[in-house]
Structures are given as structure tokens and as C-alpha cells.
Amino acid sequence: MPKITFIGAGSMVFATTLVGDVLSFDELEDSEIALMDIDEHRLEQTARVAESMVDNAGLDATVESTTDRVEALEGADYVLNMINVGDTEPFENEIRIPEKYGVKQAIGDTIGPGGIFRALRTIPTMLDIANDVEEVCPDALFLNYTNPMSILCQTLYDATDVETVGLCHSVPHTAEAISSYVDVPQDELDYWVAGINHVAWFLTAEHDGESIYPALREAMDDPDIYERDTVRFEMMRHFGYFPTESSHHMSEYVPYFRTDEATIEEMTGTDYAERMETATYLEGWKERSAHRDDPDMDVDLETVAPERSEEYASRIIHAVETDTPRRMNLNVSNETNAIENLPKDVCVEVPVLVDGTGVNPCSVGELPTEIAHFPRQHASIHRLVVEGALEHDREKIHQAVKLDPLTAAACTLDEIHEMTEELLAANEDHLPRLE
């Protein structure tokens, strides 16, 4: 009976999805579920749904909830982390302040000023959680869902002994998109993907042993299909490979698409139109956050039941507990040299084999030179952020922002310095000490 602890369980929809995933496996239906959040109201909502799942399905699982993190972690075999630190105000600062300087982010949670400062405000809490894990459940597998994935995981690799794996659904989501573009069933698409989180690439994609890339390039010439994924098709057109993150995300990670109004309009497309515009994600996030505070849950407690989603966490737990081999793309340390032409001291997203022996990264070899540049560039920025946070080095944070490609395309060095100082002042209460 594994104990599975959910940190940040007040994110009701996501947390209950992951609980349902776990309970959907017969071998895990007697799990001990520990839910933890600092927000009692949201935690209570999640607990009510989880308990109803167990009762309605007649399972042997137990559900406990607490605002005491150490209590939730005691004896845990798996820790699922999904925290958000700082709520709305710092997030809005991370979007609006760069916007004043011409840095037009769409999401701002992975790379760029938004990603860097989200990392800075999250790192202290992540380290506190990791310290508690080391104290009360040192053998637990820490499964992180919180962004920015690469920076946070790398921080834990550098500063703790916690076994950490990062989970993201961008690879299966991209596989789903590619399958629709070339009209093949998703479960028949074979692929090999590597890079860093949100900046990884479909190195191969095959159906019945044949590459689908010729069909994907042909599909790109169809205006209706092209408009569904403009930025990613342009990246494939110019660099040869299809990236793993959606067009509105990908547009933030490179300097080509968000600094010229005509280009922005051309790249807006259809499916992503509302999210290619600057910071529309912020407004949607604020609306969803307000809805999460609504005591009237959109859940029928009498009928809610475990259902399995596409998320990786339950599959990892099931694979380890039952020695069932599975392959999936996860975020791990490159200390095993999984990607040979990226540094060993970075977090990479690569194919991983999971079974009773644990999490075992596959060897990818070298990324093609034309696309290795992108993860290498951002990995250098991540390294500066991690070092800046752990060493309390303000200058390294400045340097990280100055190296960001979108920021550099929009601002002078002096403007970037001024913008970074403004961000440091605005979010000071949430940041680690920087000197």
C-alpha cells in the first residue's frame, strides 16, 4: 500500500485528476492518499472529491488532508508537487512589467523574464519542501509538475539529495497534434523526442516504420492546417524538426515572432489566436483562479469516479510498484549523459524507461546541431538562475535576463537592466535574498 502525497492539492481539478489516475489502477486502489495545501478551503474541496471517488467506487484507499506539510510527507513513497507560489500579483508583475519594455510574453511561466522570476519566487519553497522530504521520507520519488520545470528540477539536483523527476504533458499533446495533421491514429505514432522541457524536438516520428515528416511538410502547405500551428510549422520549415511546445509557447522562446506587429499578426493563426496576443493567458488564469475559490464546485460528488487521464504520474507509480515497463518522456538530470552535446549539469527531457528498478533515462546521443542551439542556449540561462538563487547573486539574475533571446530582441542592455531591477523590486517579498 504505497503512500502518495500531493503537495499543492488545493489545485482541485488537477489534483483530483491525478488522484483519479492513481485509483484507476487495480493494483493501486488501496493507496494511502495524503493531500496537503496551505489554503484550507481549496484543500477541503479536493478532499471531498477524492473521498467521494473512493466511496463511490468502493475502494480500499484512504484519503487524508492536512495543512501540515511534514505530517503529509511522513512515510511517503511518492510526492507529487503542483504548488503555485505568490498567486496573482507577482504573476501579473512578471507579465506587465516586461510588456512596458516591449517584451511581449504570452504565458511567461517557463523562459524569459516571466519564467526566470517565477522560478525565483518558487525556489525557496521548493527547497523547503525538499528539506522536509530529506528529513521524513528520504527514499520517496519526487514527481514535480510545477513550472518552470527545468530550472526548478535543476535546483533540486544541485542543492538536495531528493530523487526528482519532472513531468510535463507537452510531448503527448504534440504527438496528438502531429497525428491529426498527418491523419494517423495517435497510438500508432512512434516517436523519439529529446531536448529540454518545452524546447524539445521530435527527432523521429514514424507510422508503420515510415517517417511521417514528408506528410507533415505536405500538411504544412494546407492553409487550414498551417493556421492551427503557425510558429511550430515555421520552426520546422527553417530548422527541420517539429518542436514540442505549442505555437503560443514556442513564440516566447525564440527571437523571431513577437517583436514585430506584422509578424505577430501573421503568426496568430486560428486555434491559438487568443493566446498569441500578449498576456491573454494572464487574464484567463485570473478567471480560473477566481473560479477555484468558488465554493460551488462543478463536480457531482454522488457520481464522481476514478478515470485515467494522459498524465504520467500514476503510470510511473504503477510501473515502479508492479515492475511494469513503460517508456515516457520525463525531465531528468543529464548526469548520465543522455544528451551528449548538452552539459551534464542541466535538466533534460528525454525518453525514460520506468519499471521496478526505478527511472532510467535512455541515451539519445547528440542532438542535431541546428536544433541543439536552442536547448543549449536556454540551459545556460537556467544555470545562471539556479546559481543566482542558490548563491544569492543578484548579478547572475541580471545576466540571465540579458541572455534571454526574446528579451534581447526587444530591448537594449540598459533597458533590460532597468526592467530586471523593476521586477526585483516589485516581487521582492517573494524572492530569495539577492545581493
338, 412: one domain: yes
Same domain? 40 vs 136: yes
Of the chain, the percentage scoring pLDDT greater than 70 comes to 93
Please tell me whether residues 373 and 394 are part of one structural domain: yes
Q: Using DSSP bridges, classify how beta strands 347-355 and 326-333 pair: parallel, antiparallel or unpaired.
A: antiparallel
pLDDT greater than 70 at residue 294 = no
User: Could you tell me the pLDDT band of residue 281, with boundaries at 50, 70 and 90?
Assistant: low
242 HSE (CA, 13 A, CB side): 29
In a domain, 306, yes or no: no
Assigned domain for 260 exists = yes
> Which CATH number fits the domain that encloses residue 157?
3.40.50.720
pLDDT given at position 295: 46
pLDDT exceeds 60 at position 291: no
Q: Are residues 235 and 363 in the same domain?
A: yes
Model confidence at 261, pLDDT cuts 50, 70, 90, reads confident
Question: Which residue segment(s) compose the domain that 383 sits in?
Answer: 90-114+167-278+311-435
332-375, pLDDT tens digit by residue? 999 999 999 999 999 999 999 999 999 999 999 999 999 999 99
Phi, psi of 218 (to 5 degrees): -65, -40
Under 8 Å CB-to-CB from 66, ≥6 apart: which residues?
34, 35, 36, 72
* H or E stretch covering 142: strand 141-144
Active site residue 169: yes
- Judged against a pLDDT cut of 50, whether residue 274 lies above it is answered with no
Number of domains in the chain: 2
CATH of the domain at 342: 3.90.1820.10
62-66/32-36 β-pairing: parallel
> Does 73 share its domain with 40?
yes
Same domain, 103 and 153: no
**Do residues 99 and 222 share a domain?**
yes
Separation CA 145–CA 158 (nearest Å): 18
* Catalytic option among 41, 169, 207, 248: 169
CB-side exposure of 148: number of CA atoms within 13 Å? 35
